[in-house]
């Protein structure tokens, strides 16, 4: 038995080098140089070894195939079998195939709305998340832009009208194009695509609609599904999947939830002239975001005509004889809705995958538990993306998938790096952020300086609309390092993506100050804020004290 220690990933136990050399000769495997070099599975050089690495400083046996009854390598149909062809699964599979592994992916047939029997190559982001959502955000922007244009001299003899069916048809055609592109990406990489529902039978076997496949490694990347609480009348509720593919535009909609999905759809439907009401259980939207950003975005959204109902929990949905819906909450009943949408979170899509049978550990909400290399409690089974409920963002799933492929097939153990991950909320106005919130920075560093600008953007000076922009830097007072960067206003996600490089690189406020701005832009504010809005210092008693100065504002 060869034991591989993950802490150094070198062969160090139970066999001396001469014995190991003898084993290599018997198996006709080239001897690595040096012998103690990293020993992860590589299909080109170690196809006769079934390695079971534990990358949390535990050791597993690496069984050599020989005449003692062990199975030959041909026992496995594939080196990697991936269940779920979303962003993380496609990335891991494609990279693994490029590294020389034999790879298969199974995925359900395409449909804009996911179910137990439908899915599609591309996954949530491409088919019923980021991409169609952003297309609808674009569509909804025009009403605001028509309004802005009047201050710039544009006149309309007839008010522009929106045709919902055109938007849906063009959106769905684009989704069909994208799922075809993803299929071609897999095909060109040499990945076998199998249509059907995959279920794990044992640590190396997958059942796809009655046909069995074996694999050295199994990857689970099935993502998540919208969660709707079971309350009376919940059968009348739509989720985010359905909201992206409605046959007609809602006239009046109640959106339950205060997270980013709720705010994004509120902006979409409001921009498309639907009457929008948002019901949230808390006092504020976007729990976990910077507090000032939370307050600012709620104020700006309200100015666009969206009505918030705070500290209201849904209790029932009632359908009237005329087909309209009423939403009963702890504070009363709101009536006359054509649609009620729940944006009450997402849950890992782990039901009926056979995980419990093979011993894969999961959390209470169904997320798969993994180590820092994305390995589950079963050594041959791995998981990436939203199904693990770590950081549920598409680019993070891509990072995890790429890291896993390197770990398994490149002799390069790679941990995903979750530091300074930028993110965006495509609300209207949108939010971009990277790094720590002010509250997180105070807890972690104690002494911080806050730089902030709250101003009227140039476009609003002629449009006459009440649009404003909030920009904020969170800086460590001791090291001058920029810990967090936050923005709410037009083009925030585009601007923050660029500045995320600076925050990730650990640049200081002095580096920002030394950068020449581009004028006239909103982004230049991040490199021209010289005076702290407030200085927060930890007192001897462990409390925080704030020295407040005037906030920059125009």
Distance in angstroms (rounded) separating the CA atoms of residues 239 and 251: 17
pTM of the model: 0.86
Helix (H), strand (E) at residue 519: none
Residue linked to tokens 């069909």:
176
Q: Which residues are annotated as a binding site?
A: 134, 198, 257-264, 345, 386
* Marked catalytic residue, from 204, 217, 277, 519: 519
Closest CA to 62 of 7, 8, 11: 11
Q: Phi, psi (5° rounding) for residue 300?
A: -65, -40
Q: What is the distance between the alpha carbons of residues 382 and 388, in angstroms, rounded to a whole number?
A: 10
Tokens of 425: 């909320």
- List C-alpha distances in Å: 92 to 14, 382, 386: 33, 11, 14
CB-hemisphere CA count at 13 Å for 244? Answer: 29
Active site includes 204?
no
Residue identified by tokens 């922009």 is 469
Separation CA 282–CA 393 (nearest Å): 24
User: Judging by DSSP bridges, how do beta strands 103-107 and 211-220 pair with one another?
Assistant: unpaired
CA 487 to CA 510: how far, in whole Å?
A: 20
User: CA-CA distance, 88 to 522, in Å (whole number)?
Assistant: 34
Per-residue model confidence (pLDDT) at position 75:
86
Residue 417 CB contacts under 8 Å (≥ 6 apart), including other chains: 399
Question: Look-up: residue for tokens 């609480």?
Answer: 229
| Strand pairing report for 346-348 and 448-455 | unpaired
Angstrom distance (rounded) from CA 423 to CA 414: 23
Render pLDDT for 286-319 as a digit per residue (tens, 0 to 9). 999 999 999 999 999 999 999 999 999 999 999 9
Instruction: Name the stretches of the chain with pLDDT < 70.
Output: 1-74, 542, 548-554
Tell me how far apart the alpha carbons of residues 197 and 207 are, in angstroms, rounded to a whole number: 8
The CA-to-CA distance between both ends of the chain, in Å, stands at: 72
Helix (H) or strand (E) segment spanning residue 283: none
What is the distance between the alpha carbons of residues 226 and 256, in angstroms, rounded to a whole number?
13
Q: What's the rounded Cα separation, in Å, for the pair 144 and 332?
A: 32
What is the helix (H) or strand (E) element at residue 410, kind and residue range? none
Q: How far apart are CA 551 and CA 470, in angstroms?
A: 11
Per-residue model confidence (pLDDT) at position 91: 98
The span from the CA of 503 to the CA of 481, in Å, is 8
For residue 518 the two structure tokens come to: 């581009």
Place of tokens 């729940």: 342
Residue 376, pLDDT score: 98
- Binding residue numbers for NAD(+): 257-264, 345
Question: Are the beta carbons of 325 and 340 closer than 8 angstroms?
Answer: yes
Domains parsed from the chain with CATH numbers: 78-226+347-410 (3.50.50.60), 229-343 (3.50.50.60), 422-535 (3.30.390.30)
- Sign for the CA dihedral angle at 505, 511, 512, 514 comes to negative
Over its C-alpha atoms, the chain yields an Rg (Å, rounded) of 27
């Amino acid at each position: 038995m060869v034991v591989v220690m993950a802490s150094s990933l070198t062969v160090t136990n139970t066999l001396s080098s001469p014995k190991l050399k003898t084993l290599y000769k018997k198996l006709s495997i080239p001897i690595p140089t040096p012998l103690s070099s990293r020993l992860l599975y590589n299909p080109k050089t170690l196809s006769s070894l079934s390695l079971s690495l534990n990358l949390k400083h535990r050791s597993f046996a690496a069984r050599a195939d020989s005449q003692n009854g062990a199975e030959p390598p041909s026992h496995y149909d594939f080196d990697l079998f991936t269940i779920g062809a979303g962003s993380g699964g496609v990335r891991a599979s494609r990279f693994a195939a490029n590294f020389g592994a034999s790879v298969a992916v199974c995925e359900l047939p395409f449909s804009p709305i996911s179910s137990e029997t439908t899915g599609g190559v591309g996954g949530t982001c491409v088919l019923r998340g980021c991409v169609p959502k952003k297309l609808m955000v674009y569509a909804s922007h025009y009403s605001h832009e028509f309004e802005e244009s009047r201050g710039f001299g544009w006149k309309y003899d007839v008010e522009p009208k929106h045709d919902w069916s055109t938007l849906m048809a063009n959106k769905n055609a684009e989704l069909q194009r994208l799922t075809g592109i993803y299929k071609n990406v897999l095909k060109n990489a040499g990945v076998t695509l199998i249509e059907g529902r995959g279920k794990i039978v044992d640590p190396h076997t997958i059942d796809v609609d009655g046909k069995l496949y074996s694999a050295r490694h199994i990857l689970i990347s099935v993502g998540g599904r919208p969660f709707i609480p079971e309350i009376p009348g919940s059968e009348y509720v739509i989720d985010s999947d359905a909201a992206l593919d409605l046959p007609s535009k809602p006239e009046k909609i109640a959106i339950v939830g205060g997270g980013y999905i709720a705010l994004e759809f509120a902006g979409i439907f409001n921009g498309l002239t639907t009457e929008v009401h948002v019901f949230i259980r808390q006092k504020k939207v976007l729990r976990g975001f910077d507090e000032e950003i939370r307050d600012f975005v709620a104020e700006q959204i309200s100015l666009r005509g969206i009505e918030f109902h705070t500290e209201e929990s849904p209790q029932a949905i009632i359908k009237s004889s005329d087909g309209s819906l009423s939403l009963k909450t702890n504070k009363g009943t709101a009536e006359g809705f054509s649609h009620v949408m729940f944006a009450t979170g997402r849950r890992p899509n782990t039901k009926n995958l056979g995980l419990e049978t093979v011993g894969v550990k999961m959390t209470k909400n169904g997320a798969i538990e993994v180590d820092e290399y994305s390995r589950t409690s079963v050594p041959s089974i791995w998981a990436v993306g939203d199904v693990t409920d770590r950081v549920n963002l598409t680019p993070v799933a891509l990072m995890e998938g790429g890291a896993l492929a390197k770990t398994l097939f490149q002799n390069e153990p790679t941990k995903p790096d979750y530091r300074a991950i930028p993110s965006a909320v495509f609300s209207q106005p949108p939010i971009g952020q990277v790094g720590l919130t002010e509250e997180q920075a105070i807890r972690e560093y104690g002494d911080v300086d806050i730089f902030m600008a709250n101003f009227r953007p140039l476009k609003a000076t002629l449009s006459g609309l009440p649009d404003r922009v909030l920009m904020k830097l969170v800086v460590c007072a001791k090291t001058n390092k920029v810990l967090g960067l936050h923005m709410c206003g037009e083009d925030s996600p585009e601007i923050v993506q660029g500045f995320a490089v600076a925050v990730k690189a650990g640049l200081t406020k002095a580096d920002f100050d030394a950068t020449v701005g581009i004028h006239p832009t909103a982004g230049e504010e991040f490199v021209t804020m010289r005076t702290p809005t407030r200085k927060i210092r930890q007192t001897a008693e462990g409390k925080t004290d704030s020295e407040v100065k005037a906030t920059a504002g125009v």
